[in-house]
Amino acid sequence: MAAKQPPPLMKKHSQTDLVSRLKTRKILGVGGEDDDGEVHRSKISQVLGNEIKFAVREPLGLRVWQFASAVLFSGIAIMALAFPDQLYDAVFDGAQVTSKTPIRLYGGALLSISLIMWNALYTAEKVIIRWTLLTEACYFGVQFLVVTATLAETGLVSLGILLLLASRLLFVAISVYYYYQVGRKPKKV
| DSSP state string for 102-135 | HHHHHHHHHHHHHHHHHHHHT---HHHHHHHHHH
| Amino acid symbol at 187 | K
Residue 155: count of CB within 10 angstroms of its CB: 6
Q: Look at residues 22, 26, 21, 19 and name the one whose alpha carbon lies nearest to residue 43.
A: 26
Q: What is the pLDDT of residue 25?
A: 67
Q: What is the CB-side half-sphere exposure of residue 34 using CA atoms within 13 A?
A: 15
With beta carbons less than 8 A apart as the criterion, state whether 176 and 144 touch.
no
- pTM attached to this predicted model: 0.66
Position 98 scores a pLDDT of 81
Residues of the chain with pLDDT under 70: 1-2, 9-22, 24-56, 92-95, 186-189
The SS3 assignment for 33 reads: strand
Greatest extent of the chain over all pairs of C-alpha atoms, in Å: 121
In this prediction, residue 172 carries a pLDDT of 96
